[in-house]
Amino acid sequence: MTCRTSLLWMCLLGAGLASGAAAQQAAEDAGAATKPAAMLDLRRQPAVSGDAQAGAGKAAVCAACHGAHGVAVAPNFPNLAGQSATYLYVQLKSFKGGQRSDAVMSGQAAALSDADMRDLASYYAAQAAKLPGRADVASRGAQLYHAGDPARGIPPCQGCHGPDGMGPRPHPSSAPQPPWASFPRLRGQSGQYLAHELHDFRSGMRAATSNAKVMQGVAATLDEADVQALSAYLDAL
Ligand code: HEC
Ligand code: HEC
Protein backbone atom coordinates (compact mmCIF):
# COMPACT_ATOMS: atom_id res chain seq x y z
CA MET A 1 0.00 0.00 0.00
CA THR A 2 1.32 3.48 -0.86
CA CYS A 3 0.37 6.49 1.31
CA ARG A 4 0.91 10.20 1.29
CA THR A 5 2.70 11.28 4.48
CA SER A 6 0.11 13.94 5.39
CA LEU A 7 -2.54 11.30 5.51
CA LEU A 8 -0.48 8.75 7.40
CA TRP A 9 -3.07 8.39 10.17
CA MET A 10 -5.78 7.70 7.57
CA CYS A 11 -3.51 5.32 5.83
CA LEU A 12 -2.87 3.42 9.05
CA LEU A 13 -6.56 3.48 9.92
CA GLY A 14 -7.43 2.20 6.45
CA ALA A 15 -4.86 -0.58 6.70
CA GLY A 16 -6.16 -1.43 10.15
CA LEU A 17 -9.74 -1.61 8.92
CA ALA A 18 -8.75 -3.69 5.95
CA SER A 19 -6.79 -6.21 8.01
CA GLY A 20 -9.54 -6.17 10.67
CA ALA A 21 -12.12 -7.01 8.03
CA ALA A 22 -9.89 -9.73 6.63
CA ALA A 23 -9.37 -11.17 10.09
CA GLN A 24 -13.10 -11.09 10.74
CA GLN A 25 -13.79 -12.82 7.42
CA ALA A 26 -11.20 -15.48 8.22
CA ALA A 27 -12.78 -16.00 11.64
CA GLU A 28 -16.21 -16.33 10.03
CA ASP A 29 -14.87 -18.83 7.49
CA ALA A 30 -13.28 -20.85 10.28
CA GLY A 31 -16.52 -20.54 12.24
CA ALA A 32 -18.50 -21.86 9.29
CA ALA A 33 -16.25 -24.92 9.11
CA THR A 34 -16.56 -25.65 12.83
CA LYS A 35 -20.11 -24.40 13.22
CA PRO A 36 -21.93 -26.53 15.77
CA ALA A 37 -24.28 -29.04 14.18
CA ALA A 38 -28.00 -28.49 14.64
CA MET A 39 -29.48 -30.10 17.73
CA LEU A 40 -30.79 -33.62 17.03
CA ASP A 41 -34.16 -34.28 18.66
CA LEU A 42 -34.41 -38.00 19.42
CA ARG A 43 -37.67 -38.00 21.33
CA ARG A 44 -39.61 -39.51 18.45
CA GLN A 45 -36.85 -41.79 17.18
CA PRO A 46 -38.52 -44.95 15.84
CA ALA A 47 -37.02 -48.32 16.76
CA VAL A 48 -34.20 -49.22 14.37
CA SER A 49 -33.88 -52.49 12.58
CA GLY A 50 -31.48 -53.47 9.83
CA ASP A 51 -29.86 -56.47 8.19
CA ALA A 52 -27.53 -57.92 10.82
CA GLN A 53 -25.95 -60.28 8.31
CA ALA A 54 -25.09 -57.47 5.93
CA GLY A 55 -23.82 -55.58 8.99
CA ALA A 56 -21.38 -58.40 9.81
CA GLY A 57 -19.69 -57.86 6.46
CA LYS A 58 -19.54 -54.11 6.94
CA ALA A 59 -18.09 -54.46 10.46
CA ALA A 60 -14.69 -55.76 9.30
CA VAL A 61 -13.15 -52.28 9.46
CA CYS A 62 -14.56 -51.65 12.93
CA ALA A 63 -13.05 -54.85 14.41
CA ALA A 64 -9.61 -53.26 14.81
CA CYS A 65 -10.94 -51.34 17.81
CA HIS A 66 -14.37 -52.74 18.68
CA GLY A 67 -13.40 -56.42 18.27
CA ALA A 68 -14.82 -58.91 15.75
CA HIS A 69 -18.02 -59.37 17.79
CA GLY A 70 -18.30 -55.97 19.43
CA VAL A 71 -16.26 -56.67 22.58
CA ALA A 72 -13.51 -54.07 22.25
CA VAL A 73 -9.80 -54.90 22.02
CA ALA A 74 -8.89 -52.37 24.74
CA PRO A 75 -10.85 -50.59 27.52
CA ASN A 76 -10.55 -47.14 25.93
CA PHE A 77 -12.85 -48.35 23.12
CA PRO A 78 -16.53 -48.94 23.87
CA ASN A 79 -18.06 -52.41 23.74
CA LEU A 80 -20.88 -52.46 21.20
CA ALA A 81 -22.06 -56.07 21.70
CA GLY A 82 -25.59 -56.36 23.07
CA GLN A 83 -26.16 -52.58 23.00
CA SER A 84 -29.54 -51.38 21.77
CA ALA A 85 -29.64 -51.10 17.97
CA THR A 86 -31.55 -47.84 18.21
CA TYR A 87 -28.91 -46.31 20.49
CA LEU A 88 -26.04 -47.50 18.27
CA TYR A 89 -27.75 -46.12 15.18
CA VAL A 90 -28.34 -42.67 16.68
CA GLN A 91 -24.72 -42.48 17.83
CA LEU A 92 -23.42 -43.26 14.34
CA LYS A 93 -25.85 -40.73 12.92
CA SER A 94 -24.69 -38.05 15.35
CA PHE A 95 -20.99 -38.75 14.65
CA LYS A 96 -21.78 -38.29 10.96
CA GLY A 97 -23.98 -35.24 11.54
CA GLY A 98 -21.42 -33.58 13.83
CA GLN A 99 -23.55 -33.62 17.00
CA ARG A 100 -20.97 -35.94 18.57
CA SER A 101 -17.35 -35.69 17.61
CA ASP A 102 -14.31 -37.86 18.06
CA ALA A 103 -11.00 -37.86 16.21
CA VAL A 104 -11.51 -41.44 15.04
CA MET A 105 -15.25 -41.99 14.94
CA SER A 106 -16.19 -38.83 13.07
CA GLY A 107 -14.09 -40.09 10.16
CA GLN A 108 -15.39 -43.65 10.45
CA ALA A 109 -19.02 -42.54 10.38
CA ALA A 110 -18.57 -40.05 7.54
CA ALA A 111 -18.24 -42.93 5.08
CA LEU A 112 -21.40 -44.76 6.22
CA SER A 113 -24.79 -44.58 4.50
CA ASP A 114 -28.00 -44.66 6.51
CA ALA A 115 -28.47 -48.33 5.55
CA ASP A 116 -24.89 -49.13 6.64
CA MET A 117 -25.61 -47.59 10.05
CA ARG A 118 -28.81 -49.60 10.46
CA ASP A 119 -27.09 -52.84 9.44
CA LEU A 120 -24.07 -52.27 11.68
CA ALA A 121 -26.30 -51.31 14.63
CA SER A 122 -28.38 -54.47 14.14
CA TYR A 123 -25.27 -56.62 13.87
CA TYR A 124 -23.73 -55.39 17.13
CA ALA A 125 -27.06 -55.45 18.98
CA ALA A 126 -27.35 -59.16 18.16
CA GLN A 127 -23.88 -60.06 19.52
CA ALA A 128 -23.39 -61.51 22.99
CA ALA A 129 -22.49 -58.78 25.49
CA LYS A 130 -19.34 -58.97 27.61
CA LEU A 131 -19.83 -61.54 30.36
CA PRO A 132 -21.04 -60.03 33.61
CA GLY A 133 -18.36 -59.41 36.19
CA ARG A 134 -18.67 -59.27 39.95
CA ALA A 135 -19.87 -55.81 40.76
CA ASP A 136 -19.42 -54.71 44.37
CA VAL A 137 -23.00 -54.21 45.49
CA ALA A 138 -21.92 -52.53 48.74
CA SER A 139 -19.76 -49.92 47.01
CA ARG A 140 -20.32 -46.18 46.76
CA GLY A 141 -20.76 -46.66 43.00
CA ALA A 142 -23.58 -49.18 43.55
CA GLN A 143 -25.25 -46.84 46.02
CA LEU A 144 -25.10 -43.92 43.60
CA TYR A 145 -26.28 -46.06 40.72
CA HIS A 146 -29.33 -47.37 42.56
CA ALA A 147 -30.28 -44.55 44.92
CA GLY A 148 -28.42 -41.44 43.73
CA ASP A 149 -27.58 -38.76 46.27
CA PRO A 150 -30.62 -36.50 46.67
CA ALA A 151 -28.82 -34.01 48.90
CA ARG A 152 -26.47 -33.25 46.00
CA GLY A 153 -29.08 -33.57 43.27
CA ILE A 154 -27.66 -36.82 41.85
CA PRO A 155 -30.50 -38.90 40.40
CA PRO A 156 -30.44 -42.70 40.58
CA CYS A 157 -28.91 -43.91 37.31
CA GLN A 158 -31.15 -46.94 37.31
CA GLY A 159 -34.16 -44.72 36.64
CA CYS A 160 -33.05 -44.38 33.02
CA HIS A 161 -30.47 -47.16 32.54
CA GLY A 162 -32.44 -49.91 34.31
CA PRO A 163 -31.90 -51.58 37.69
CA ASP A 164 -29.57 -54.10 36.04
CA GLY A 165 -27.94 -51.58 33.67
CA MET A 166 -29.56 -53.24 30.67
CA GLY A 167 -31.15 -50.01 29.46
CA PRO A 168 -34.81 -49.40 28.75
CA ARG A 169 -36.94 -52.14 27.30
CA PRO A 170 -39.25 -50.44 24.81
CA HIS A 171 -42.23 -52.43 23.61
CA PRO A 172 -41.41 -54.54 20.56
CA SER A 173 -43.86 -53.16 18.04
CA SER A 174 -43.97 -50.73 15.18
CA ALA A 175 -46.14 -48.34 17.25
CA PRO A 176 -44.44 -45.05 18.25
CA GLN A 177 -41.79 -45.70 20.89
CA PRO A 178 -41.59 -43.85 24.20
CA PRO A 179 -39.14 -40.92 24.21
CA TRP A 180 -36.67 -42.89 26.35
CA ALA A 181 -36.45 -45.85 23.97
CA SER A 182 -33.09 -44.70 22.55
CA PHE A 183 -31.33 -44.54 25.96
CA PRO A 184 -28.28 -46.82 26.22
CA ARG A 185 -27.47 -49.96 28.11
CA LEU A 186 -24.48 -49.55 30.44
CA ARG A 187 -24.03 -53.17 31.56
CA GLY A 188 -21.02 -54.80 29.95
CA GLN A 189 -19.44 -51.44 29.10
CA SER A 190 -15.84 -50.58 29.91
CA GLY A 191 -15.44 -48.39 33.00
CA GLN A 192 -12.60 -46.46 31.41
CA TYR A 193 -14.77 -45.58 28.43
CA LEU A 194 -17.73 -44.64 30.67
CA ALA A 195 -15.58 -42.28 32.74
CA HIS A 196 -14.36 -40.65 29.52
CA GLU A 197 -17.94 -40.08 28.38
CA LEU A 198 -19.03 -38.68 31.76
CA HIS A 199 -16.23 -36.13 31.36
CA ASP A 200 -17.42 -35.32 27.84
CA PHE A 201 -20.99 -34.76 29.05
CA ARG A 202 -19.75 -32.60 31.90
CA SER A 203 -17.54 -30.43 29.70
CA GLY A 204 -20.31 -30.00 27.12
CA MET A 205 -18.30 -31.84 24.47
CA ARG A 206 -21.18 -34.31 24.09
CA ALA A 207 -24.32 -32.19 24.33
CA ALA A 208 -25.89 -31.72 20.92
CA THR A 209 -28.77 -34.20 20.96
CA SER A 210 -31.87 -34.23 23.16
CA ASN A 211 -30.50 -37.37 24.86
CA ALA A 212 -27.03 -35.93 25.39
CA LYS A 213 -28.63 -32.86 27.00
CA VAL A 214 -30.42 -35.11 29.50
CA MET A 215 -27.18 -36.85 30.39
CA GLN A 216 -25.28 -33.55 30.50
CA GLY A 217 -27.61 -32.42 33.27
CA VAL A 218 -27.00 -35.63 35.20
CA ALA A 219 -23.22 -35.52 34.73
CA ALA A 220 -23.11 -31.94 36.02
CA THR A 221 -24.12 -33.25 39.45
CA LEU A 222 -21.14 -35.64 39.64
CA ASP A 223 -17.71 -34.82 41.03
CA GLU A 224 -14.58 -36.73 40.09
CA ALA A 225 -14.89 -39.19 43.00
CA ASP A 226 -18.46 -40.01 41.88
CA VAL A 227 -17.30 -40.58 38.29
CA GLN A 228 -14.60 -42.98 39.45
CA ALA A 229 -16.93 -44.83 41.86
CA LEU A 230 -19.65 -45.24 39.22
CA SER A 231 -17.21 -46.32 36.50
CA ALA A 232 -15.61 -48.92 38.78
CA TYR A 233 -19.02 -50.32 39.72
CA LEU A 234 -20.29 -50.41 36.14
CA ASP A 235 -17.05 -51.91 34.79
CA ALA A 236 -17.71 -55.01 36.90
CA LEU A 237 -21.47 -55.15 36.37
C1 HEC B 1 -9.47 -46.84 15.33
C2 HEC B 1 -10.44 -47.25 16.31
C3 HEC B 1 -11.92 -47.32 15.90
C4 HEC B 1 -12.47 -47.84 14.75
C5 HEC B 1 -11.76 -48.48 13.56
C6 HEC B 1 -13.90 -47.70 14.90
N7 HEC B 1 -14.20 -47.11 16.11
FE8 HEC B 1 -16.07 -46.77 16.88
N9 HEC B 1 -15.26 -45.85 18.50
C10 HEC B 1 -13.91 -45.67 18.70
C11 HEC B 1 -13.73 -44.78 19.85
C12 HEC B 1 -12.41 -44.28 20.41
C13 HEC B 1 -15.03 -44.46 20.32
C14 HEC B 1 -15.38 -43.54 21.50
C15 HEC B 1 -15.56 -42.13 20.95
C16 HEC B 1 -15.90 -41.11 21.99
O17 HEC B 1 -15.27 -41.09 23.05
O18 HEC B 1 -16.81 -40.30 21.75
C19 HEC B 1 -15.96 -45.17 19.46
C20 HEC B 1 -17.36 -45.10 19.60
C21 HEC B 1 -18.25 -45.78 18.79
C22 HEC B 1 -19.68 -45.82 18.99
C23 HEC B 1 -20.44 -45.18 20.15
C24 HEC B 1 -20.59 -46.21 21.27
C25 HEC B 1 -21.34 -45.74 22.47
O26 HEC B 1 -21.48 -46.51 23.44
O27 HEC B 1 -21.81 -44.59 22.48
C28 HEC B 1 -20.20 -46.57 17.99
C29 HEC B 1 -21.66 -46.91 17.78
C30 HEC B 1 -19.10 -47.00 17.14
N31 HEC B 1 -17.92 -46.49 17.67
C32 HEC B 1 -19.25 -47.77 16.01
C33 HEC B 1 -18.20 -48.04 15.10
C34 HEC B 1 -18.39 -48.66 13.82
C35 HEC B 1 -19.73 -49.14 13.28
C36 HEC B 1 -17.16 -48.74 13.23
C37 HEC B 1 -16.81 -49.26 11.85
C38 HEC B 1 -17.51 -48.66 10.74
C39 HEC B 1 -16.20 -48.17 14.17
N40 HEC B 1 -16.87 -47.74 15.28
C41 HEC B 1 -14.84 -48.09 13.96
C42 HEC B 1 -12.88 -46.23 17.97
C43 HEC B 1 -13.02 -46.85 16.73
C1 HEC C 1 -32.97 -38.95 33.17
C2 HEC C 1 -32.37 -40.10 32.50
C3 HEC C 1 -30.94 -40.47 32.84
C4 HEC C 1 -30.41 -40.65 34.10
C5 HEC C 1 -31.06 -40.48 35.45
C6 HEC C 1 -29.04 -41.10 33.86
N7 HEC C 1 -28.78 -41.19 32.52
FE8 HEC C 1 -27.01 -41.75 31.66
N9 HEC C 1 -27.79 -41.45 29.82
C10 HEC C 1 -29.06 -40.99 29.58
C11 HEC C 1 -29.21 -40.77 28.16
C12 HEC C 1 -30.46 -40.25 27.48
C13 HEC C 1 -28.00 -41.14 27.56
C14 HEC C 1 -27.62 -41.09 26.07
C15 HEC C 1 -26.90 -39.80 25.76
C16 HEC C 1 -26.52 -39.66 24.33
O17 HEC C 1 -27.10 -40.33 23.47
O18 HEC C 1 -25.60 -38.86 24.06
C19 HEC C 1 -27.12 -41.56 28.63
C20 HEC C 1 -25.81 -41.98 28.43
C21 HEC C 1 -24.95 -42.32 29.45
C22 HEC C 1 -23.58 -42.70 29.26
C23 HEC C 1 -22.84 -42.86 27.92
C24 HEC C 1 -22.99 -44.29 27.46
C25 HEC C 1 -22.21 -44.62 26.20
O26 HEC C 1 -22.26 -45.79 25.77
O27 HEC C 1 -21.56 -43.74 25.63
C28 HEC C 1 -23.05 -42.91 30.51
C29 HEC C 1 -21.65 -43.31 30.86
C30 HEC C 1 -24.13 -42.68 31.47
N31 HEC C 1 -25.26 -42.32 30.79
C32 HEC C 1 -23.99 -42.83 32.84
C33 HEC C 1 -24.97 -42.50 33.76
C34 HEC C 1 -24.76 -42.52 35.19
C35 HEC C 1 -23.48 -42.95 35.87
C36 HEC C 1 -25.92 -42.08 35.76
C37 HEC C 1 -26.23 -41.87 37.24
C38 HEC C 1 -25.40 -40.91 37.94
C39 HEC C 1 -26.85 -41.82 34.69
N40 HEC C 1 -26.25 -42.08 33.49
C41 HEC C 1 -28.15 -41.37 34.88
C42 HEC C 1 -30.07 -40.76 30.51
C43 HEC C 1 -29.90 -40.80 31.87
What pLDDT is recorded for position 152? Answer: 97
Point out the ligand nearest to the CA of residue 120.
1
What pLDDT is recorded for position 11? Answer: 37
User: Does residue 108 have its Cβ closer than 6 Å to ligand 1?
Assistant: yes
Q: Could you tell me which of 195, 199, 165, 197 has the C-alpha nearest to residue 183?
A: 165
pLDDT tens sequence for the chain (237 residues)? 343 444 443 333 333 333 434 444 443 444 444 567 899 999 989 889 999 999 999 999 999 999 999 999 999 999 999 999 999 999 999 999 999 999 999 999 999 999 999 999 999 999 999 987 899 999 999 999 999 999 999 999 999 999 999 998 767 777 778 888 899 999 999 999 999 999 999 999 999 999 999 999 999 999 999 999 999 999 999
146 in Cβ contact with 165 (< 8 Å): no
What pLDDT is recorded for position 179? Answer: 82
Most ligand 1 atoms within 8 A of CB, residue of 62, 93, 203 to mutate: 62
C-alpha 72 – ligand 1 centre gap (Å): 10
What pLDDT is recorded for position 25? Answer: 43
User: Does residue 228 have its Cβ closer than 6 Å to ligand 1?
Assistant: no
CB neighbours of 49 closer than 8 A, spacing ≥ 6?
A: 85, 118, 122
Q: Could you tell me which of 62, 204, 235 has the C-alpha nearest to residue 141?
A: 235
CB neighbours of 237 closer than 8 A, spacing ≥ 6?
A: 132, 133, 135, 164, 165, 186, 187, 188
For the beta carbon of residue 158, count every other beta carbon within 10 angstroms. Answer: 15
What pLDDT is recorded for position 220? Answer: 98
Q: For ligand 2, which residues put their CB under 6 angstroms from it?
A: 78, 144, 154-155, 157, 159-161, 183-184, 186, 189, 194, 197-198, 206, 209, 211-212, 214-215, 218, 230
C-alpha 26 – ligand 2 centre gap (Å): 38
Most ligand 2 atoms within 8 A of CB, residue of 160, 210, 213 to mutate: 160
Point out the ligand nearest to the CA of residue 148.
2
